[in-house]
Amino acid sequence: MSGAPLKMEGISFKRGQREVLSGIDAAFEAGSFTAIVGPNGVGKSTLMEILAGYLEPDAGVAWLTGTPVLKQAPRRVAQKLAMVAQSHEVRFAFSVREVVMMGRHPFIPRFGSPQKDDDRRVEEAMDLAEIRHLANRSVTEVSGGERQRTLFARALAQGTPVLLLDEATSNLDMKHTLSLLSVVKERAKNENICAVGVFQDINTAALYCDRFLFLKEGRVHVAGTPEETLTPETLAHVFGVKTRVMVDEETGARQVLFAPGGLHV
């Protein structure tokens, strides 16, 4: 685990008397796209917030590029890590382009102005998210899906070596979900970034992710490749459902067929 840009060692976290996470050890490698999956309330989003330095664990350490994330200045963290959450309220009437440019702020000196490279990254990110036509619109006036694509573009413009997605595509239509996850997969492969995403849809995750981490009752049940982890036995144990797992001939990805009604095993 020592060479991983992002890792957790002995992470535990409580909300009141309820233990949300317990003794989590995990490493997320550069050049890899990892899916975090598990039942509702199992601590997936809490884990992501700890990785990003938004929450302090009760025990353990989250490491970002070899240093505890909580010991790094927020600006320094933002130069290394970008996060797209499931929902994020934008209270002020910034334009879509201004919001995407916020991804470049950690790299612009105080009292400085965006440079050509910042503008290029912003334009490229807006093209990838298909929001260039919205560039001058207020982000408070676009649809929920368009706003989510704006926030996704902001993270892409940030261009960090670590990218966290906390159900980041849950408000998007299928076309934009597939398009943006393809971008993440390509950046993981071609730019050696470390990408980690929380997913509800296991089949979508399996199309793009080369690693899975299954959480159950606040602990890591299993972690590894789709071949190692995405099995009927794992799905029965973690979710309590009966499934059949097949390999799609066209994509080569494992896909899950669920029993009608999600019958319990």
Q: What confidence score (pLDDT) does residue 1 get?
A: 43
Residue 164: inside a domain = yes
* 60 and 42 part of one domain: yes
* 208 and 85 part of one domain: yes
Residue 29: inside a domain = yes
The angle formed by the CA atoms of residues 34, 64 and 115, to the nearest 5 degrees, is 95
Q: What confidence score (pLDDT) does residue 91 get?
A: 72
Q: Token digits for 81? A: 């890590």
Confidence of residue 93 (pLDDT cuts 50, 70, 90): confident
> Rounded to two decimals, what is the model's pTM?
0.94
* 35 and 95 part of one domain: yes
* 75 and 196 part of one domain: yes
Q: What is the DSSP string of the chain?
A: -TT-SEEEEEEEEEETTEEEEEEEEEEE-TTEEEEEE-STTSSHHHHHHHHTTSS--SEEEEEETTEEGGGS-HHHHHHHEEEE-S-----S--BHHHHHHGGGGGGSPTT----HHHHHHHHHHHHHTT-GGGTTSBTTSS-HHHHHHHHHHHHHHHT-SEEEEESTTTTS-HHHHHHHHHHHHHHHHHS--EEEEE-S-HHHHHHH-SEEEEEETTEEEEEE-HHHH-SHHHHHHHH---EEEEE-TTT--EEEEEPGGG---
Residue pLDDT, tens place only, 7-52? 999 999 999 989 999 999 999 999 999 999 999 999 999 999 999 9
* 140 and 208 part of one domain: yes
Residue pLDDT, tens place only, 130-158? 999 999 999 999 999 999 999 999 999 99
Cross-strand partners of 61: 9
* 116 and 17 part of one domain: yes
Q: What confidence score (pLDDT) does residue 263 get?
A: 57
Residue 262's domain spans which residues? Answer: 231-265
- Residue, of 264 and 125, whose pLDDT is higher: 125
pLDDT more than 70, % of the chain: 96
The pLDDT of 261-265, averaged and rounded, is: 57
Q: Token digits for 4? A: 């991983």
* 194 and 151 part of one domain: yes
Q: What confidence score (pLDDT) does residue 88 get?
A: 63
Q: Token digits for 42? A: 């199992």
* 37 and 127 part of one domain: yes
* 99 and 110 part of one domain: yes
The domain tally of the chain equals 2
Instruction: Note the Cα 209 to chain centre separation in Å.
Output: 11
Q: What confidence score (pLDDT) does residue 259 get?
A: 83
Answer for the pair 21, 47: CB distance below 8 angstroms, yes or no. Answer: yes
* 88 and 197 part of one domain: yes
Residue 265: inside a domain = yes
Q: Indicate whether 89 pLDDT > 70.
A: no
The pLDDT of 225-251, averaged and rounded, is: 95
pLDDT more than 90, % of the chain: 91
* 159 and 250 part of one domain: no
